[in-house]
Chains A and B, each alone.
Chain A
Amino acid sequence: MSDQIQTALVDELTPPGPIREFWNYFSDNRGALIGFGFILAVLLAALFANLLTPHSPYEQYRDYILTPPAWQDGGLWRFPLGTDEVGRDILTRLIFGGRMSLFIGMLVVSLSLLVGTLIGLISGYAKGMTDTLIMRAMDIIMALPSLLLALAIVTILGPGLINAAIAIAITYLPHYVRITRASVIAESSKDYVTASRVSGAGVMRLIFITILPNCMAPLIVQASLGFSNAILDAAALGFIGLGAQPPSPEWGSMLANALEFIQRAWWVVTFPGLMILLTVLAFNLMGDGLRDALDPKMKL
């Protein structure tokens, strides 16, 4: 009995490890958990898309054009969410569309995170003229609405999924640059950095091993929120015909011609947008949860 109390007390007194502590905070937030769960589901569906559905996202069942969802009159369980204007199964295209949206999110976030962090580190560490030039350039990017800048870049590069991703990544660079720069400036005046420098650490070591790990928390939060922005912007570009090109099953481009069918086929209009909304919402919920769990200022 007393042994049990003893161990319980010890358990309570040992501080949880960083991962454990993070999970405790994160799992307290119900919204964040739901968001995380939804993203996991979309991710799994995207990975095993071939196993989940008997159809191909490109196969056109010409005899079943604009079949309504299964629960409506005239619907077939073969096509649970109905078919589009050329007879492709909508559910299949939504599942495969998850691949494209997650891929583009991943591409945009890794591009802007990598490049942005690097530029931010340089800017914050170098100071002076380099810093000023970099920050002015970032101000110019920020002066333009992100979708407008992305449009301009896609006009130069030409439409397409990868080009859209590059364009969106550029528009989100300033966020990462500014966050990294601010934390580098805040961190580099601290004693542990001075100590490291005095012990003879080189510039590279100082930047990447001493300072960078301590700037990670806001970057992770920004990356998670960046995912949702990237998916939203990519879908918008796809919708106006400058992102993913048909017939690829991207959620935004699936809506590109939806206006024509608004009178007679509500399911063509409704489901792709719902997927965009839910996925973006899930990433935002998770991002909020991450911020609460990682930002020390929020902890009491």
Chain B
Amino acid sequence: MVIPTFVGVTLLTFALIRLIPGDPVELMAGERGVDPARHAELLAQMGLDKPLLVQYWNYLTGIFQGDLGTSIVTREPVIREFFTLFPATMELSLCAITIAVLVGLPAGIIAAVRRGKVTDYTVMGLSLTGYSMPIFWWGLLLILLFSVGLGWTPVSGRISAMFWVDEVTGFMLIDAFLSDEAGALTSAIRHLILPSIVLATIPLAVIARMTRSSMLEVLREDYVQVARAKGLAMWLVVCVHALRNALIPVITVIGLQIGVLMAGAILTETIFSWPGIGKWLLDSIYRRDYPSVQGGILLIACIVIVVNLTVDILYGVVNPRIRHNR
């Protein structure tokens, strides 16, 4: 399942760069143009004069050796650029998914327990609004309100320019914590909070909706009725008996949010000038730096595939019912 998908994605990214009008040499030469002899020489140098099948084979073997090509703009290996910027995106995504789970789960549970009441309608209404939110506008709105209006948070970047934090892990929160500069951590948190909320919005809405419907289903089960009939308090039944089974479908949904997070990162990072892979990918598209676009898409797709696989495996761990044919 994973391998065919991976091969398919490499085919797609391989095709991407060949479907774009103009070949890489012309692209690198840009407006200046290049004389035909040199053109052919460079093509041969890059192996682009060989049959497509051979080119694809070279591309594939290159990938397994960690060679995703070189950026046209910076002349740096794409893979190095990607992994330099990746921690920033990962930090943002982790914070976002944490917010989404910490708020979404309780909201969904409360909505399910208070089914048909005002609380339920409020939670569901808000989550449908969140689900329909154009997050790039939501980001602008939050900047308008909290940065411009109230002056609580900075507008862009990962940390104030006043601080020079040594890069240890690439995660600004940890690096700022490790540095002995006073106030660095606060600054990092203040920079992180708005982008995280923006990126968390859609996953939060999805998680709340899923938790509610899965909780409602479980609350109808006989064992829940029995627990209630024994005289256990409602919150105890919900948190101890029902939640464990209600969580099973929610875990899958949380796993599926990785794709949403990666797509959302492109928009969120652009608005908040967050130096991660989303902004880098978009900048690469603007600069017509196609090797970077190609490598970036491949790597993001791989991350999504690996996370989804992990979720599938985890699903078997938490839900013994589907662990049948070993």
By a beta-carbon cutoff of 8 Å, the part of chain A in contact with chain B is: 136-137, 139-140, 143-148, 151-152, 155-156, 228, 232, 235-236, 239-242, 252, 255, 258-259, 262-263, 266, 269-270, 272-274, 276-277, 280-281, 284-285, 288
Contact = CB atoms under 8 A, between A and B. Distances in A.
B271 interface: yes
A152 to B, nearest CB: 6
Interface string B124-155: 00001101111011101101100010000000
Max chain B Cβ within 10 angstroms of own Cβ: one of A136, A143, A232, A284: A143
Given A152-B297, A280-B134, A281-B128, 4 more contacts: A136-B4, A140-B9, A232-B132, A274-B137
B134 A262 contact: no
B300 interface: yes
A288 B125 CA distance: 12
B140 A277 contact: no
7 contacts: A143-B308, A152-B297, A155-B16, A240-B282, A259-B271, A262-B148, A280-B133
Interface of B: 1, 4-5, 8-9, 12-13, 16, 19-20, 128-129, 131-134, 136-138, 140-141, 143-144, 148, 259-260, 262-263, 266-267, 270-271, 281-282, 285-286, 290, 293, 297, 300-301, 304-305, 308
A145 B259 contact: yes
Contact of B143 (A139, A241, A242, A262): A262
B8 A259 contact: no
A292 to B, nearest CB: 13
A156 B270 contact: no
A69 B67 CA distance: 55
A270 B137 CA distance: 8
A270 B134 contact: no
Contact of B136 (A136, A146, A236): A236
Nearest to B284: A155
Contact of B140 (A139, A232, A269): A269
A253 to B, nearest CB: 11
Q: Identify the 4 closest CB pairs spanning chains A and B, nearest first.
A: A273-B137, A140-B8, A147-B263, A145-B263
A277 B134 contact: yes
A252 B134 contact: yes
Contacts of A236: 134, 136, 267
A139 B134 contact: no
Nearest to B11: A140
Contacts of A152: 12-13, 16, 293, 297
A259 B155 CA distance: 10
B9 A143 contact: yes
